[in-house]
Structure 1
Amino acid sequence: MKIVVVDDEKGIVDGLQKMIGRYIPECEIVGVAYNGMEGAKLIQERQPDIVISDIRMPQADGLYMIQMLKELGCQAKFILLSGYADFEYARRGMQLGVKFYLNKPVEEEELRDCVCKVMDVIREEHAKLQEVDELKQEVNSRLMESALRDIIEGGSDHTVHAEELLQTAHIPMDRTHFVCALLEFESNMGPMMESGLDPVFRHVDRTLGQYQGVFRFRYLGSQVAMIVTHDRAIAYEELVRDIQRLKDALFRELKLSVTIGIGTVIEKAAGIHISFEEARHSLSYKIVKGSGAVIAYPDILTLSGKRQAVPEDMINKLEACLDNMDEEACVGAIREIFQWLEEERELSPVDLQLQCLNILLSSARKLSLEQLQQNDFLGRNLLILDGLSRYLTLDRMEAWMNQMMKGIIAFKLEHNISKKKDVIAEIKDYVSKHYAESISLAELSARFYINPYYLSQLFKQKTGDTYLTFLAQTRINKSKELLEKTDLKVYEICQMVGYSDSQHFAKVFEKLTGCKPSEYRKNPPIP
């Protein structure tokens, strides 16, 4: 640590330099001064950790020097040299926050003990400051991640507080092009998920550093979501190649196998969720492309765009059987679908695999990925989806599909998922009781065993609003009640209704009510 010595007696200064050099090697004398004014100037220049200063000095005594430095924001710790007759000076020093004193003449052992105590205090303060900084970073990171989730999970009319979400996520408003990707790691990701994703994020940042912004965070289970932003056109083929290089680097450097789905370029922030859903849909095609592939959304359109899909009424029938957990009816519905497939003589094995994928994704779209990953059978067969690529005949594919339906029904029974329920009503009731908590769409999907994208669409269909709009309105309604009936401060109400940023809360409140929280309290509506 750096030390400055200030004393008008050169012999004392020289003696302190020798003792510190000999007995306290972890400290370095970075300057000496012989009066208070000279000492104040030197301390401002050198920014030492510790200052050892005499009290009585010409031009400005030690206490006046300390007072000047404190007013200038000096953070150094001071050790005052005093005699037995300097009690009044010592009392004034305490008022200035000085806690450490040495009596003249200074003994080596006393000097070492005193300086070591000061160093311990400095280290403890630095550790506390670092802890506070880390906590702030953690809070900011969580706020940013929450905003990113809201952005990628937003509905088609994602307009309630789009600007605030972009600001919270630190996405500059001047960005004009956006692309989403979804990375799904294989089973060897377990230890990494526990210890942290920083090594993965460093590879992402390094490989995609040419783009102005890359926002990445853990999404669900072993998935990492990614938003690439740029203020000019993004060369899509080049981006796909960059992401391929990222995949190769993750395997080469971290021994992590990953499959990546990539959405298309979107030219407005409100449409980011479209690119993300394209990335999610692309990722589901690893059944055809295989694990470890990079799958761009335009590629899956060329795979399935010209082929006739299984009729919607057949899919709806299978979905209804699955809702009712009727295994026998599911077998009958699948038989009907495969009879239709048998009539499509021009379908190649890959075509048949794609049709099975579409059937499976449609019939299981209500189920939560995170919850399904907890089930060993479905984790091996449904989520990994490699098994289907081995089946090249209709009868074997049909048997595989029946096996999948049976596994889904068993899973639903195991987790006590009712046959038919008004899940949106349940979610609204849950939100009305837990609005003060962090309840993202992804977290709700995990709790209620529903695919987040399906939940987003179903919520809008049933209520006319996006989930984010409903959550914001619920929180603001509760805050209005608290403003009317309590004397709580606005920032306290902000935290009680689930917002951690009072400025963001005020903006949402004003957007939904037309006035600021303080104005609402002064002029509440007349019943």
Structure 2
Amino acid sequence: MKVILVDDEKGIVEGLKRMVNRYIPECEVIGTAHNGLEGFKLIQTMQPDFVITDIRMPQADGLEMIKMLKDEGSPIPCILLSGYTDFEYARRGMQLGVRFYINKPVEIDQLRECVYQVMEAIRADKAKVQEVNELRQEVHSRKQEKAWRDVLDLGNDNLELVEKLLQVAQIPMEGAFFGSVLLEFDSNVDGSKEFGLHPVFDHIDRAFKQYRGVFRFRYTGAQVAVILANDKLIKNEDVVRACVLLKQEVYQDLKLSMTIGIGTIQKRVVGVSQSFEEACYALSYKVIKGTNAVIPFPEITNLTGPSHTVPTELIAKLETGLDNMDEAGCVDIIREIFRRMEAEKSMRPADLQSQCLNILLSSVRNMSFHQLQQNDFLGRHILSLDGISRFRTLEHLEEWAVKVIRGIISFKLEHNIPKKKDIITEIKEYVTKHYNEPIKIADLAARFFISPYYLSQFFKQKTGETYVNFLTQIRINKAKELLQNTDLKVYEICQMVGYSDTQHFARLFEKLAGCKPREYRKNTPSL
């Protein structure tokens, strides 16, 4: 630790300096002064860890120097030297926060013991400050994580609420560019302890250090979401390059392999939800690209855009056949699709391969990746796929597609997965019963064995509204019933219908009901 010596007797200063250098190697004398005013200026300039000072000195004594430091907001721990036993000095010193005294002449044992006490006190104070700062940072990070989760769930339709959530979480958004990245680990990430991801978070921070804001948090299971924010344009190629380097360094240092999906860059904060959906969708292509890949969304939009496509009605029939586990019907549809492709004389080999990718996605997108990984056959033929380009003939491609279809149906039968007659109805019934629980779209996707992105799109297609809006309407309707028929407090009703933030609940209620909860209760007669 660094120390400054202040005494008007040069002999005492030199003697103290020799004792510190010889007997207290943990300390370094970085400066000396011979009066209180000189000491005050030196301490402000060099910022030592503590000071050893005499009391009586010209221009300003030791106590006056300590007071000047305290008044300037620089309270430095001090050891007071004095040849006097006057109680008044001790009393004034205690009023200034001085805890350590040494009488002259200074004995080495006394000096060493006192200095070690000061150093221990300094370390304890620093540890407390660090603990408080870490706790404050943890609370701040949690608040920001919750804000981003809410933003991702809200979608692109509510700019006002998105801005409010980020403002409360102290996340700057004016004039910023935003991007999203989703990491999925393929091996032993500790899913139960948050500190298991801290080394990964450190790597993420370093990989994207060029951006003003890097917000990373566990999204679900072995997935980590990363939201990037920057005042200047974020280039997609720079993000891809950083992700490739991140993947390599995480594997090298932590022995963790991962697949990365990357969304497009958005100019407005309301576009973050779209960017994240794109990252999720890109990540889903690991079933094609293989694990341990970096997959930008623009790359996959170009992947399935050949000049010839499988008719939509055949893909729909295939999905229905898979839902009903009709193996013979599915095989017939695969045969028909390939006969059509075979009849297309102008189709190139690249087009044939792209068609198979389309069939494969249609076959597995209603299943969770966790289910696919559980099955040995599917794991060997899909998740560990080196590249569909290895199939050189249409016949090989056709037999491979038939084998995959049969493997999926066999897996469903083996695991007693029920036929899906109307999955959206089942989901709506489940949500209606469990509306008061924190039901994320990812939770529903896992429960009903369907990918989150596909479920989000399919739900809106079938119902005409987003899942978040559907859940919100159910909760608000239930809140109306409780306001009409009970004497419960608003905050109690807020918690009963699944919200933890009363202000957020009140804003949603007013938006849908046209008035605040208390006004609704006042204006609506009890039944």
How far off is 1:116 after superposition?
A: 1.1
Name 1:297's counterpart in structure 2: 298
Does residue 277 of structure 2 align to residue 277 of structure 1?
yes
**DSSP-derived class of the 2:240 partner:** helix
The question of whether the paired residues in 2 share the 8 Å contact of 1:261 and 1:297 is answered with no
Q: CA RMSD in A?
A: 4.9
After the TM superposition, which residues 327-406 of structure 1 pair with which residues of structure 2 at under 5 Å, given as runs? 327=325, 329=326, 331-344=327-340, 345=342, 346=344, 351=351, 353-369=353-369, 373=373, 379-386=379-386, 392-406=396-410
- In structure 1, list runs of 5 or more residues that go unmatched: 500-504
Name 2:19's counterpart in structure 1: 19
How far off is 1:10 after superposition?
A: 4.2
Name 1:161's counterpart in structure 2: 161
The question of whether the paired residues in 2 share the 8 Å contact of 1:213 and 1:230 is answered with yes
Residues 229 and 408 from structure 1, CA distance in 2 versus in 1: closer, same or farther, beyond 3 angstroms? farther
Does residue 247 of structure 2 align to residue 243 of structure 1?
no
Amino acid at match of 1:106: V
Q: TM-score, normalised by structure 2?
A: 0.72
The question of whether the paired residues in 1 share the 8 Å contact of 2:153 and 2:468 is answered with no
Residues 38 and 95 from structure 1, CA distance in 2 versus in 1: closer, same or farther, beyond 3 angstroms? same
The question of whether the paired residues in 2 share the 8 Å contact of 1:286 and 1:385 is answered with no
How far off is 1:64 after superposition?
A: 4.3
**DSSP-derived class of the 2:17 partner:** helix
After the TM superposition, which residues 79-158 of structure 1 pair with which residues of structure 2 at under 5 Å, given as runs? 79-82=79-82, 85-152=85-152, 154-158=154-158
The question of whether the paired residues in 2 share the 8 Å contact of 1:378 and 1:404 is answered with yes
How far off is 1:161 after superposition?
A: 1.8
Residues 40 and 386 from structure 1, CA distance in 2 versus in 1: closer, same or farther, beyond 3 angstroms? same
Name 1:201's counterpart in structure 2: 204
CA-to-partner distance for each residue in 1:450-486, whole Å, 9 max, x for gaps? 43224434665659455289569969x99x99xx977
Residues 204 and 464 from structure 1, CA distance in 2 versus in 1: closer, same or farther, beyond 3 angstroms? same
The question of whether the paired residues in 2 share the 8 Å contact of 1:180 and 1:275 is answered with yes
How far off is 1:38 after superposition?
A: 4.2
Q: TM-score, normalised by structure 1?
A: 0.72
Residues 73 and 427 from structure 1, CA distance in 2 versus in 1: closer, same or farther, beyond 3 angstroms? farther
After the TM superposition, which residues 258-269 of structure 1 pair with which residues of structure 2 at under 5 Å, given as runs? 261-269=261-269
CA-to-partner distance for each residue in 1:316-358, whole Å, 9 max, x for gaps? 55555655xx54x2x1341242133133123666555544544
Work out which structure has the larger RCO, using CA pairs closer than 8 Å and 6 or more positions apart in sequence.
Answer: 1
**DSSP-derived class of the 1:30 partner:** strand
Residues 41 and 393 from structure 1, CA distance in 2 versus in 1: closer, same or farther, beyond 3 angstroms? closer
Amino acid at match of 2:244: K
CA-to-partner distance for each residue in 1:260-283, whole Å, 9 max, x for gaps? 555445444323333443344344
After the TM superposition, which residues 22-61 of structure 1 pair with which residues of structure 2 at under 5 Å, given as runs? 22-57=22-57, 60-61=60-61
- In structure 2, list runs of 5 or more residues that go unmatched: none
After the TM superposition, which residues 156-235 of structure 1 pair with which residues of structure 2 at under 5 Å, given as runs? 156-159=156-159, 161-167=161-167, 168=169, 170=171, 172-175=173-176, 178-182=178-182, 196-198=199-201, 200-201=203-204, 204-205=207-208, 209=210, 219=219, 225=225
How far off is 1:498 after superposition?
A: 4.0
**DSSP-derived class of the 2:22 partner:** helix
